[in-house]
Structures are given as C-alpha cells and as structure tokens.
Amino acid sequence: MVLKCEGIGQSVRIAASDRILGIDPGLRITGYAVIEARQRRPNVCEAGFISSPGRDEKAALALRLVNLHHSLRGIIEQFRPTVVAIEELYAHYQHPRTAILMGHARGVILLAAAEASIPVVSYSATRIKKTITGNGRAPKDQMQRSMQRELCLAKMPEPPDVADALAIALCHFFPAQPTGFIMITCMTGNLNRVLAEEVRLQVGALEYQVLIPEFVRRQLQNKLGEEITLFTSEFLEGNPMQGRMVPRLIGFTSEAELEFFELFCTVDKVGIRKAIKALVRPVRDIADAIQRQDCKWLTTLPGIGPSSAEQIVATLRRKVTKFALMVTPEASTAEAPSAGAQAAQVFEEAYEALVSVGHTPVEARNLIDKVIASGKSFDSVQDVLLEIYQKPK
C-alpha cells in the first residue's frame, strides 16, 4: 500500500510556533496546508495533497480512510500544529450521498486531531471564500489565483484542493475574521458626503466610509444631510504578506441590489472592484440585457469587454429573471414622490440620455455633477440637457 503525499512550499525545517493546519476534506483527494505566523504575517511551511492509492474508483472506502488517517498523523507529527482548521460539512438536497461520504473523511480528520490533542475549528465555505476574495461564491480558479498572489507562491497551487486548504488556514489566521464575527448587513444614518466612489455615513458618533457603485451614487447625490439606509456587504482588501488587510463596506439602497451585486461577482474573473466599477446602470437594465443575451450592450459597462460580456451571459442568464422584473421605488408606491425623489429621477433620466448619445459613464457623471453643483432646480430632462449644452455668450 502506497501513500501519496505531494507538497509545495518552503523548507519544512521551521521552528513550531502557532502553526495552523488547514484541511480540505475529500476521499479521493484531501488538500492540506500548514502555515505559521512570522512577524504577524502568514508563512507557508508546507502545502500539498493526500490521494487514495491509484485513484481506483473501486477502492474500498475503508482503505481510503486508513490512508487518509495514516497520512494526517504523519503530517501532524512532522509539523506539530497548534490548531486544525477544516471546512464545515455542507449537504445539498440534490447530492445527499456526497455529504455522507464527506462525513466519513471529516470524521477521520477529527479523529487524527483528537489523538494529538489538537483543537479543531470549522468555517463555512462561503465565509472562507469571502474572507480571501471578498466573494462568497468565488470559483476554484479565483481561489487558486488569490492564494498564489497573497502568499507569493512561485506557481498557482495545484490541484484546487491545495488552494482550498491554504484558504481555510488563512481564514483562521486573519485576526480581522475572528470566530463569532458578525457582518454589518444594514446601516441607517445621516448622509454626510457623496464622493466619486464612496459615501460617508454618520451613524451615532461614528462616520463610516461605504463604497458604492455609480448607479447607487446617482440615487444618493441629492440626499445630503438626509437620513438614509444602506444594505451592506463586507470584504477584506490588501496584502496579508505586508501585514495590512483593510475591511471595506459596500452599500446599496435595497437588498435586491445587494443580492444582484453578489451574484454578479460569481462570474469568473469579475472581482469586487471590477463589479463596483461596472455597475453604472440600474440593476434592472443590466439584468434585462443579460436575459436578452445582449453582449454588445454589456460591453458599454466600464471594464467589460466582449469576452467578459459573453462570460456574464453564460453564467447569469438563467439567474436574473427576478432582477429584470424589478420595480423601481417610485413605481412601487402610490404616494406622490417627494421633490427630492423627483429631482433624482430627472437626473437619472438625464444621465441615461447622455450615455445614449455617446458620452462615457464617467463623462456623463461629471456633467451631471456640474449641473447639480450649480444649485439650480430642474423640472425636466430637457432643462438639464439645455444647462449642459448651452454655450456661454
């Protein structure tokens, strides 16, 4: 019986100090990664995978579990980790057998840790991905690229199980994500400032910086000094190798907009920052274009080229129907809109008109900002366009 245990990383001759063993459980391939803290930075001691003998489909379950147990005991004895981090077991109603089989592997991992008197912590797959990439639904190749970049590896971790194990270990390492961490999901406060890519929200004695996409910015630019509510998501930005990870908030005016944003981020090679930059049009319009498979329209969004547009359509076209049918807040209420809401609607329509005649989203935004800064009131889109295009005498 041959146990296959292949690794990548630096020399294993490192003095043991607060080492974390991250494990991505599996019966055919189990990824593992050992990291330790060096001057508050994660250092890779070893990362690799354990595979069953010959990957024989007919190999007995008991034999695979024995192999996994023996290999894990060897890794634990060699590196002496102080904690084992493992992904929580997830059961999908369409694949119950997979969850049962993963339960066998997970039980063996817990046994090996218990035999060495090592505590075990568990993290959900969504939390691990969100901690590392800011996207709770990040695909495997995005996780691999993130691990290569964040840990300064010479090559991308292969197979993906190795990258997953590294991510699990890092999820436990980051002090910004302690056990019991509660995400801010909704904020209500006074709108102090509206900047190019963010707003400043006063909540009690604290002022929060909240990133916003352009279409949200246009909804808020006439509400300075008013009390608003933002539905938020959080992600970490920075380089852990430099010891600086900054938590960021992203805000939206409705839960549906936030849900669409997180769905948009699941597209391959679309990260948090790219998604924020791209969402310059209302969610309903973007969802409608995706549903119609209108790649040409999607390429008008900043940072979205032909290949990205095709990938967005292929990934999301069956998932955006409810967003394409979204009703705007103005249309959903029977009450007459306030003066502020009317002005916001006029500027929104003026923005759409500017983009339709050839202005880039950034140019259109700057033109609208200049009009707003004039302090004048406008009753119609025509009035706004006349103000923009009138020539000085």
Q: Report pLDDT digits (tens) over 112-139.
A: 999 999 999 988 888 888 778 777 777 8
Contact 302, 363 (CB under 8 A): no
Confidence band of 212 (pLDDT split at 50, 70, 90): very high
pLDDT of residue 125: 85
User: Quick one: pLDDT at residue 10?
Assistant: 34
How far apart CA 387 and CA 212 sit, in angstroms, is 27
- Res 1 pLDDT > 70: no
> Is pLDDT at 155 greater than 60 in this prediction?
yes
Lowest mean pLDDT among 54-58, 87-91, 125-129, 287-291: 54-58
Q: Are 378 and 384 in contact (CB under 8 A)?
A: yes
- Distance from C-alpha of 136 to C-alpha of 129, rounded to nearest angstrom: 5
Omega before 96 cis (within 30°)?
no
Which pLDDT band holds residue 40 (cuts at 50, 70, 90)? low
d(Cα 390, Cα 153) in Å, to the nearest integer?
57
Half-sphere exposure of 351 (CA within 13 A, CB side): 24
pLDDT attached to residue 341: 60
pLDDT in the model for residue 172: 87
The CATH H-level superfamily of 4-173 is: Ribonuclease H-like superfamily/Ribonuclease H (3.30.420.10)
The answer to whether residue 179 scores a pLDDT higher than 50 is no
32 beta partners: 23, 48
* β-sheet bridge partners, residue 235: 248
In this prediction, what percent of the chain has a pLDDT beyond 90? 38
Q: Which of 3-17, 50-64, 148-162, 337-351 has the lowest mean pLDDT?
A: 3-17
Please compute the mean of the pLDDT values over residues 174-192 and round it to a whole number: 67
pLDDT tens digits along 291-328: 999 999 999 999 999 999 999 999 998 889 889 887 65
Judged against a pLDDT cut of 50, whether residue 15 lies above it is answered with: no
Nearest to 313 by CA among 295, 288, 340, 338: 295
- Does the annotation mark 87 as catalytic? yes
Instruction: State residue 3's pLDDT score.
Output: 34
Record: fold of 186-324: DNA polymerase; domain 1 (1.10.150)
Same fold, 4-173 and 186-324: no
Rounded Cα–Cα distance for residues 105 and 108 (Å): 5
d(CA 93, CA 107): 21
294 is catalytic: no
pLDDT digits (tens, 9 = 90+) for 336-347: 455 556 666 777
Catalytic residue among 46, 150, 161, 262: 161
Domain ranges in the chain? Answer: 4-173, 186-324, 329-389
Q: Which of 301-305, 360-364, 382-386 has the highest mean pLDDT?
A: 301-305
Residue 30 confidence (pLDDT): 92
* Known catalytic membership, residue 24: yes
Q: Active-site residue among 36, 46, 87, 198?
A: 87
Among candidate residues 265, 273, 242, the one with its CA nearest the CA of residue 129: 265
* Range with lowest mean pLDDT among 33-37, 194-198, 328-332: 328-332
Phi, psi of 5 (to 5 degrees): -140, 100
pLDDT for res 162: 94
What is residue 228's predicted lDDT score, i.e. its pLDDT? 93
Q: Give the pLDDT confidence score for residue 378 in this predicted structure.
A: 80
Residue 377: DSSP 8-state:
-
- At 261, list the tokens: 């944003």
